[in-house]
Structure 1
Amino acid sequence: MDKIVELIKQDPIRVDALKVVSQLALPQCYIAAGFVRNLVWDSLHNFEMHTPLNDVDVLYFDPDESNPDSYLFYEAQLKSCMPQLNWQVRNQALMHIRNGDSPYTSSLDAMSYYPEKETAIAIRQTAQDKYECIAAFGFKSLFNFYVTHNPKRSRESFENRVNSKGWLQRWSSLKIAP
């Protein structure tokens, strides 16, 4: 998605984060969720200052990884490069256990279980100044000011997240999708 890449390239922190994550060379590795979603919503609302990153969600998919604590090593590596960010690294090949789902088949499949569809978006650096964006539900609703419940998760969970995160207050033009 060219518009997302354009927005990312205008944000040096996000460019640097994508670079250090790419250096981990993990399979199907992306930065997901608010890293992308919030940047788009900030742009749609013409915010001059980006919403601060509470955390940076790094996901990868490695069904052959034998140590379930490998993510701690990757988080430490990322923290040593960019200590100002709160890194959250998770192997999506294992996350179905915690979430009570059937095994995920890929990073994209894992994102298809996120409580709101606009969060199921990710980006990675594939080469110098080259990026790949993926979205489990496409990009349209993200750019149309929607927050959409994912029926794979409970409506209550969705509503709790929307309310606790204050999205409708922060980005006042957002609407809950019908």
Structure 2
Amino acid sequence: MMEILRAAKRLNLPDWWICAGFVRAKIWDTLHGYEEATNTPDVDVIYFDQTKTDESVEKELETKLRSLLPDVPWSVKNEARMHVVNDIPAYASSVDAISKFPETTTALGVKLDDKDCVVLTAPCGIEDVWNMEVRPTTFFKETRERMAIYERRIVQKKWQSIWPKVKVYHT
């Protein structure tokens, strides 16, 4: 994980984080006593740069990361443009975007500071991920459409088949 964090840090992106499954899976693997890391479909690197919002920039960054660590399934997104893709109001920052992820247990990010210390952001708190409880974020509870997305993700992700101690709440 440190190697992945160091690779992302080398891009020198503004307001960057590695988030979602990368963080959650590590926590749940540890709480389940798994000795080997669970494979995640991608490593989500997000950043916030209002000056370069073309999707092609993200693809170039993914190419750079693949040149550093070719076996990692990188996914890079500039949160300064993702509100358009998601058809919601603009985000103020990467942490604001993370706070609006579908599940509280996904609304987590890590990065390295200037001294290579790991920094965690958890705008929805860490209680749910620590207690292995999946709930929608406040933002997703606001509309039926978003709650439908949350419910579809619960079915698609099949987290309970990977981590049997996980409890899922339907609100």
Q: How far, CA to CA, are the matches of 1:92 and 1:21 in structure 2?
A: 16
How far 1:151 moved relative to its partner? 4.0
Specify the code of the residue in structure 1 equivalent to 2:165: S
**Unaligned stretches of 5+ in structure 2?**
141-145
Aligned match of 1:101: 88
Per the alignment, do residues 68 and 50 of structure 1 end up closer, same or farther by CA in structure 2, a change over 3 Å counting?
Answer: closer
Per the alignment, do residues 140 and 81 of structure 1 end up closer, same or farther by CA in structure 2, a change over 3 Å counting?
Answer: same
Q: Are residue 125 (structure 1) and residue 104 (structure 2) matched?
A: no
Render the CA deviation track for 1:35-84: whole Å, top value 9, x for unaligned. Answer: 00011011111111110131100000011225442101110000000000
Specify the code of the residue in structure 2 equivalent to 1:172: P
Q: How far, CA to CA, are the matches of 1:50 and 1:128 in structure 2?
A: 26
Q: Are residue 83 (structure 1) and residue 75 (structure 2) matched?
A: no
- Identity percentage of aligned residues: 33
Listed as ranges, the matches of 1:25-174 within 5 Å are 25-65=12-52, 67-153=54-140, 154-174=146-166
How far 1:101 moved relative to its partner? 0.7
How far 1:17 moved relative to its partner? 0.6
Give the TM-score normalised by the residue count of structure 1.
0.88
Render the CA deviation track for 1:112-161: whole Å, top value 9, x for unaligned. Answer: 22111110100001134411110120111110110011242322211211
List 4+ stretches of structure 1 deviating above 3 A: none
Kept in 1: contact 2:53–2:80 (CA 8 A): no
Give the TM-score normalised by the residue count of structure 2.
0.91
Aligned residues: 165
Q: How far, CA to CA, are the matches of 2:53 and 2:93 in structure 1?
A: 17
**Unaligned stretches of 5+ in structure 1?**
1-13
